[in-house]
């Protein structure tokens, strides 16, 4: 039997492991589910005879080497900064590796060694990155084939709350790692617009937004991802005039989130003294202009130039920013406290469902006229276990594992799924599983 090692049994691994176990009997696979939380691994194993749930400590070198040595392929669903530990041992024992994470400099440096060892390190094969690469390259290659000249490429993606579960004034709930949401966008975002490089500082990121419509789901607003320019090379778009990648939110979210950024509540580079004793309103007060004659609410409204009776103020009051509840986190950064506040009100309820929205916009010249094509994807979660995020992150990973094991994918070295050998069979099977794009000439 072929041995598959999956390291990490968190929420994004649910669909991945379900798929591998469903396919395991037909393909004669044994799936080891390795996690620091043995209960998580055992729950995902679902008493399947081809599943082997184990306690796993990635920092235990002997255990890590033993498990990787005895595997035919390794899937790392660990945080991205831990992939290099797994990759190092995959090189040592000549094992293929699949991850959903961006290619780090450490992983990129293994390209030549991976090729020499006749193995593939396939990265960025989740949702974003992943499905975005594959679906975009499919259209780009089709346009090239018919000699169309691509002028503009814009790509948007968002993990959002299902319309049926959209029941709070922020029109948002955490459908993936809350910490990543709190820290999203920090640094400088760069993209190309009409042959001019545009740079947006973090302070302005959530004010410099675009609004788009996606199928029957209505309007969304997008803020720029950190670096769109790197995709010029990845997609072979050296003569492109415009390239932009953005994150989607419901309309109105960005303006409100920008308040946190302006106040400094998303900073994570220092600790607040005696943070555990602060109430939420004390915490907010630290970041507002001082004025002893005004309440925290009045100072907040003065800062934003809004009224306490406004819908905008209600959003922050509903969130609990003016509450007397204690932070209870020792030596917390501003971002850690904001995460605690937002998690308490913006986490998924037991019966909530999520959704994933993605859209690519292509503008091109074909047969002497300018045309625009929108390629859109909407995926709904079924419940808290079978989320849209788990489906769209986990399924491409699982399908890629199968394609590598059966030698449909034969590429070696450090790869992302921009080649037809990878994207075509993965997209074909995703479509069979209800994940398919709808193309519209605009």
Threshold 0.85, pTM exceeds = yes
3-state SS, residue 210: strand
The answer to whether residues 136 and 80 belong to one domain is no
What domain range is 293 assigned to? 258-346
Instruction: Clarify whether residues 29 and 120 are in a common domain.
Output: yes
- Give the whole-angstrom CA distance, residue 305 versus residue 296: 14
How many C-beta atoms surround the C-beta of residue 49 within 10 A? 10
CA atoms within 13 A on the CB side of 411: 21
DSSP 257-301: HHHHHHHTTT--SS--TTGGG-BHHHHHHTTSPP-TTS-HHHHHH
Which pLDDT tens digits describe the chain residue by residue (442 residues)?
999 999 999 888 999 999 999 999 999 999 999 999 999 999 999 999 999 999 999 999 999 999 999 999 999 999 888 899 999 999 999 999 999 999 999 999 999 999 999 999 999 999 999 999 999 999 999 999 999 999 999 999 999 999 999 999 999 999 878 998 999 888 899 999 999 999 999 999 999 999 999 999 999 999 999 899 999 999 999 999 999 999 999 999 999 999 999 999 999 999 999 999 999 999 999 999 998 899 999 999 999 999 999 999 999 999 999 999 999 999 999 999 999 999 999 998 889 999 999 999 999 999 989 999 999 999 999 988 899 999 999 999 999 999 999 999 999 999 999 999 999 999 999 999 999 999 999 8
Residues 186 and 107 in one domain: no
Nearest residue to 227 via CA among 204, 255, 200, 253: 200
Residue 390 near residue 11 (C-beta atoms within 8 A): yes
Residues 363, 251: one domain? yes
- CB half-sphere exposure, 357, CA atoms < 13 A: 24
CATH number, domain with residue 203: 3.30.360.10
Q: Are 159 and 393 in contact (CB under 8 A)?
A: no
* 117 and 80 share one domain: yes
Peptide bond before residue 15 is cis, with ω within 30 degrees of 0: no
Q: Is residue 193 part of a domain?
A: yes
């Amino acid at each position: 039997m072929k041995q598959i090692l999956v390291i990490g049994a968190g929420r994004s691994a649910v669909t991945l492991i379900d798929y591998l176990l469903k396919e395991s009997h037909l393909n004669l696979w044994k799936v080891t589910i390795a996690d620091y939380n043995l209960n998580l691994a055992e729950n995902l194993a679902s008493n399947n005879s081809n599943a082997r749930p184990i306690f796993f400590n990635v920092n235990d070198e002997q255990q890590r080497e033993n498990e990787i040595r005895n595997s035919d392929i390794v899937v790392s669903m660990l945080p991205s900064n831990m992939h290099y530990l797994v990759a190092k041992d995959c090189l040592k024992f000549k094992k293929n590796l699949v991850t959903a994470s961006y290619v780090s400099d450490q992983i990129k440096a293994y390209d030549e060694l991976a090729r020499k060892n006749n193995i593939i390190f396939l990265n960025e094969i989740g949702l974003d990155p992943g499905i975005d690469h594959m679906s975009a390259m499919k259209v780009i290659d089709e346009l090239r084939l018919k000699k169309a000249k691509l002028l503009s490429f814009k790509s948007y993606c968002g993990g959002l709350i299902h319309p049926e579960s959209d029941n709070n004034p922020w029109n948002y709930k955490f459908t993936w790692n809350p910490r990543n949401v709190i820290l999203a966008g920090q640094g400088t975002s760069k993209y190309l617009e009409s042959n001019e490089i545009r740079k947006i500082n973090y302070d302005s990121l959530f004010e410099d937004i675009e609004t788009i419509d996606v199928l029957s789901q209505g309007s969304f607003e997008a803020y720029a991802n950190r670096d769109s320019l790197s995709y010029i090379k990845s997609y072979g778009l050296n003569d492109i005039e415009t390239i932009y990648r953005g994150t989607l939110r419901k309309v109105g979210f960005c303006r409100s989130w920008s308040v946190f950024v302006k106040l400094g509540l998303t900073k994570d580079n220092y600790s607040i003294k005696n943070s555990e004793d602060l109430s939420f309103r004390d915490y907010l007060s630290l970041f507002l202009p001082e004025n002893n004659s005004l309440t925290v609410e009045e100072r907040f409204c003065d800062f934003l130039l809004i009224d306490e009776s406004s819908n905008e103020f209600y959003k922050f009051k509903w969130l609990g920013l003016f509450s007397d509840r204690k932070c209870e986190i020792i030596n917390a950064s501003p971002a850690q406290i904001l995460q605690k506040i937002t998690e308490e009100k913006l986490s998924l309820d037991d019966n909530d469902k999520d959704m994933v929205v993605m859209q690519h916009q292509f503008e091109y010249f074909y047969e002497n006229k300018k045309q625009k094509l929108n390629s859109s994807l909407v995926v709904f979660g079924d419940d808290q276990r079978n989320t849209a995020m788990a489906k769209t992150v986990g399924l491409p990973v699982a399908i890629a594992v199968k394609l590598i094991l059966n030698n449909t994918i034969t590429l070696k070295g450090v790869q992302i799924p921009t080649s037809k050998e990878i994207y075509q069979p993965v997209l074909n099977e995703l479509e069979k599983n209800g994940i398919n794009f709808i193309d519209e000439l605009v």
